[in-house]
Structure 1
């Protein structure tokens, strides 16, 4: 029998935590390790306890580690059972070498200590983080930010951009660059046409909508502060084709930007295309419109294309 050192004599939670840290080799969960590698029982002694952990020993190298605890449990000075039960078990154990009663109590003792430790571990992140492959802080951040639907590593890198109270254009640029792997630039206050409500429009012949009360003529107006442009790229000509396909990357990008800024702002996406080294395809190849010009190419090798807004 090999006696092991008690590292944390006055805190049996920390002692179990240190034992589990040494036993984690094949990525087994803590509840399995507690049942298969450890046997935690309460002491039979009625002496005043000197700490919470009495002894730790192991009969063989690959055998279960036996841990005797004087903290709570069913027997002993701090046990839940009356002292008469502990005295009777001590007599049976030492005078008659009868271990059956204590072995029966050990079944409930071990289960009680395992549940007690797992409940303690749940509320102590320092111990919980050691037992999980995925960090609990990562799960909490993704859940708070609303990004727990698809837990990709690249989303966790950008999770801090969603924790700020103000959604800035710099953070939007960083998020788009991290997700799509291309440079992004946001130009604010570019202005855009928006529809005007009917109560704000002047209607000829309608006395309730005069020019004095409804000063708007027409159904659309330009609003500068609630519109911005997003310029992506530059990308090569062949790489730009994925933005012009139905149900493609453009739709996903539009949803992500809308999710980030909310419903109050409007935006336009432009794609910067670099046509260096690209030859215009001949007619009859069903590619009209993809190279954006007919005939000889212009001297400019880089141009902006306004991407259409998808119907979402």
Structure 2
């Protein structure tokens, strides 16, 4: 038997040969297409030798009672042969005259001559496999397990993800993006669409609160000064920041249990995917944060020896509020990410400057009195680094914080 066919379960072929009427033509072809792992899908190979089976039509005048009529398994190394009735050149549904079908059948049963039937099977194999491929390409669920499924490209093109490289850019599965293509293809991105995406994907209660106040910092070059061209009541702004309520919203997740509550902490898989979903849906135009709501029965006091994160999952004292659920945790993922990148850049600059000072030494082990002096900040004062000057952080549970994020101490 063919080596590729031998990888299939032996019982499958025996059962198929013994009870061909119990199997559907499309089911058999789909099974072979998935299990054989050919170079190309069935119907797209250049030569029939690349497909380790043969399709043929049985010359008959009867109307097909089922898709398959017989399956022959050969022991001399020849590929198995699958015979059908309903599609081909012969029979009452075929394009050839009926007397040719009668003639081919007569040569087989009375003269044991299969020449005419075998000659037509050369074309039948190609016709039947092409017929199956046309059906499979039109069915969206048939080729989903193939690496180059055309259906994924068709749906992905509606939401700008038709390119294979673009659709594999983040941690969100491709199937999830295609599933929510109905929400992503709309030009108007309303809150209800984002709620449905997050609720179905993370399986948690989700609400969105709009018009969240925030302070927008004004760049020094854009602030109003005495020598600037500003007019009172028009474009004059007093201070370094302005209050805004139009460009920020809040995603409320909960009430949820302790396990799901901790799964949205910064740095987790759910937190990363949540950021990617929001960016995919609204882009970078609006500011947003997340309010995690924990069921009251899952809240416990922090004790020594227990895992707890300060500002995230640590609790002290008793709950004196009227509400039953804990809803005082607010996380601004993007602000935390910006602060982390800023601190990493400062640390990288400090290490680079230290390495340059060490390189100016006279040799290995030689002391450099300049390198032993305390680092100076921009104002020239000693004893404080840039990190210490910008190290003030806000509590994660303070929604009215004027800082850039909710990073914890």
User: Paired residue for 2:282, among 261, 268, 271?
Assistant: 261
User: Paired residue for 1:304, among 321, 324, 328?
Assistant: 328
Go from structure 1 to structure 2 and tell me whether the alpha carbon gap of 1:165 and 1:109 turns closer, same or farther (over 3 Å shift): same
Report the CA distance between 1:202 and its aligned residue: 1.9
Are 2:54 and 2:125, in contact at CA under 8 Å, matched by a contact in 1? no
Q: Relative CO higher for 1 or 2, CA cutoff 8 Å, sep ≥ 6?
A: 1
Report the CA distance between 1:106 and its aligned residue: 5.0
Go from structure 1 to structure 2 and tell me whether the alpha carbon gap of 1:38 and 1:311 turns closer, same or farther (over 3 Å shift): same
Aligned to 1:183: 205
User: Paired residue for 1:22, among 22, 25, 28?
Assistant: 25
Aligned equivalents of 2:187, 2:63: Cα separation in 1: 52
Aligned equivalents of 1:280, 1:188: Cα separation in 2: 32
Are 2:208 and 2:249, in contact at CA under 8 Å, matched by a contact in 1? yes
> Normalising by structure 2, what TM-score?
0.48
Aligned to 1:46: none
Go from structure 1 to structure 2 and tell me whether the alpha carbon gap of 1:231 and 1:137 turns closer, same or farther (over 3 Å shift): same
Report the CA distance between 1:182 and its aligned residue: 1.3
- Aligned pairs, how many? 258
Go from structure 1 to structure 2 and tell me whether the alpha carbon gap of 1:251 and 1:203 turns closer, same or farther (over 3 Å shift): farther
Aligned equivalents of 2:191, 2:215: Cα separation in 1: 21
> Normalising by structure 1, what TM-score?
0.60
User: Paired residue for 2:261, among 240, 254, 268?
Assistant: 240
Aligned pairs for 1:107-256 within 5 A: 109-110=123-124, 113=127, 117=131, 120-121=134-135, 125=138, 128=139, 132=143, 140-142=154-156, 144-145=158-159, 146=161, 149=168, 150-152=173-175, 157-196=179-218, 200-205=222-227, 209-212=228-231, 215-237=236-258, 239-256=260-277
Go from structure 1 to structure 2 and tell me whether the alpha carbon gap of 1:210 and 1:141 turns closer, same or farther (over 3 Å shift): same
Greater strand content = 1
SS at match of 1:216: coil
CA distances 1:128-160 after superposition (whole Å, capped 9, x unpaired)? 4585466975663355334954244x6555332
Report the CA distance between 1:174 and its aligned residue: 1.4
Q: Which sections of structure 1, spanning at least 5 residues, go unmatched?
A: 1-19, 44-52, 71-75, 78-92
Are 1:242 and 1:248, in contact at CA under 8 Å, matched by a contact in 2? yes
SS at match of 1:243: coil
SS at match of 1:304: strand
Aligned equivalents of 1:275, 1:37: Cα separation in 2: 66
Are 1:240 and 1:273, in contact at CA under 8 Å, matched by a contact in 2? yes
Are 1:280 and 1:291, in contact at CA under 8 Å, matched by a contact in 2? no
SS at match of 1:177: helix
Q: Does 1:38 align with 2:55?
A: yes
Aligned equivalents of 1:142, 1:129: Cα separation in 2: 13
**Cα root mean square deviation, aligned:** 4.8
Report the CA distance between 1:22 and its aligned residue: 3.0
Q: Which sections of structure 2, spanning at least 5 residues, go unmatched?
A: 1-22, 34-40, 73-81, 91-95, 98-106, 339-409
Go from structure 1 to structure 2 and tell me whether the alpha carbon gap of 1:37 and 1:290 turns closer, same or farther (over 3 Å shift): same
User: Paired residue for 2:89, among 66, 69, 73?
Assistant: 69
Go from structure 1 to structure 2 and tell me whether the alpha carbon gap of 1:217 and 1:182 turns closer, same or farther (over 3 Å shift): same
Are 1:230 and 1:269, in contact at CA under 8 Å, matched by a contact in 2? yes
Report the CA distance between 1:180 and its aligned residue: 1.4
Report the CA distance between 1:203 and its aligned residue: 3.2
CA distances 1:149-179 after superposition (whole Å, capped 9, x unpaired)? 4244x65553322233321111111111111
Aligned equivalents of 1:100, 1:182: Cα separation in 2: 65
Aligned equivalents of 2:140, 2:180: Cα separation in 1: 21
Are 2:209 and 2:251, in contact at CA under 8 Å, matched by a contact in 1? yes
